[in-house]
Structure 1
Amino acid sequence: MTLKNKKFLYIFLYLLSFGQVIGTLILINKIEFIPMINNVILGLSYLVFFVLQIFSIYRILNFKFNRYLKFLVGLILIGLCLISMAYIPLAFAFAGKDNRQVTYDDEKFYILDVGWLDPAYEVYRKNFITMDKLSEDEIKDTFADLNKIEDEDTREILKTLIYGREGLDDSKAEEENQDLEDAKEKKEVVKENKEEVLKNFEVSDAIKIENSDYGLLEVDRAGARSHWFLVKISGDKMEFISELEDTSPEASGSMNEDGTIHLEFNDINKNKTTYISKDKGRTFEKIK
């Protein structure tokens, strides 16, 4: 490589040190990484900035030019480096994520404080190395029983998100909690009834969902329509997970590495209907 090309390379590396910082901030703004990955990316970016700055400034100052000009260039480059190394951590601090975790029904969630001066919380469901933000309704439906959460601070944050930021008086909160308990009891009764239905079937009756311990069980059929349960298979036992609307009799399913369940149904005319679940089969969204 010629001397001229080397000079361009070192100048490029100097500019690249700033470009990768900007690129990192854009990346983590576009993709919701889980806190640990998010913060590791920020830390690596700062390290890369430091290394590229030191290396490129050292090489640039070894260029052969007037010593007074070299002094001026060195002063500017080192000054920019010091200023940047002071302000970049500040920018990264606002882009960082606190690692407040909560495990609920075998799923991991993150609660992030996205407020400026006053706390403002958002809840995310872990999805491998990324996470999905929960809406207000999803938060309320997901955390139906706050008594399952041991950490008091986390429980209070979720209670505020569910009952409103203005908060509820004690009587209202108690009423809401009682409603949730009643709903939970009704849900348990329904589940018990479903478990009774499962006693009429064997594990071999279920259609295995690929790459998982789940299965589809046809519990009733009327003409060209079938009634399906999603079950979890453990040895020779089946546990009721959810109930699908009446659909076609020919069924198959698979699970992705991230835990997403895909179901496909075909009627007698070969018309296909597909469903997807991102919450371990508790709810399904009809795709087509």
Structure 2
Amino acid sequence: MLDLVIQTRVHDLGGGFEVGRVLPYRQRRMVGPFIFFDRMGPHTLPAPIPRHTDVRPHPHIGLSTVTYLFDGQMTHRDSLGIEQAILPGALNWMTAGSGISHSERFDGMRQNGGHIDGIQAWVAVPEAHEEDDPAFDHYAADRLPTFSEDGVSGRVIAGSAYGVDSPAKVHSPLFYLDVALEPEARIALPASHAERAAYVASGTIEFDGRQYQKGQMLVFAPGGTPTLKALAASRLMLLGGEPLGPRHIWWNFVSSRKERIEQAKADWQAGRIALPSHDNAEFIPLPDTVA
């Protein structure tokens, strides 16, 4: 049963780089542990890509950032000293824990420009792990398991689904998949997770006699095995997992406790969250308000 359909809203990250924001939504803050979901593109960035298009160093607490590209290239730098190029099909999983900062830049595309498209998601962590030491893990595309059957092909980015397990380190039961469907192909959502959603990245799908298009996220009620049918060649992101309980979110901070977010604000303002040592010439100041 379909619980809710979320429409993408356009949001400017600054410097003119717009994303399609899906989560959080006023009627649905989370799907399983997923508390944030942005579509980054598709954009064509003319050469040379100006530095003001980059996402300058900024902080996080209490969550994992999950970056996955369909096209293009980004460069991740963080306060652990990690520098990592992100390529299509690979997974960047950064656990903020008690506090981390990072930047996302277009260094690999800057000279020639090109297409950029992908998803940035945030995954909340159980309360027992909110103050873990920050960590970073990268998984090349060939390390993430794939499956193919009856016009459906997919990659298990994180978690478990359809009897396939991703090697990505996660803190709670979840699933996150990139799935391509040929016309008329069908896929049933994993039945073993309490909360589930499907984001239409491209194409057109049908569920329960109604059609859904690119940019819509279908959120399903618990129970049953909702089956989606592709009316054209389509690409879906399937996601969900076990709920973790309510979370507070303000700017880039997520926590089960409001006072912890207030502390993170003060820490960033006072410079107590380190900047990336190799990308510390600029940063995003603490905003006065958050839209």
TM value normalised by structure 1:
0.25
Whose relative contact order is higher, 1 or 2, with alpha carbons under 8 Å and at least 6 apart?
A: 2
| Higher alpha-carbon Rg | 1
Greater fraction helix: 1
Greater fraction strand: 2
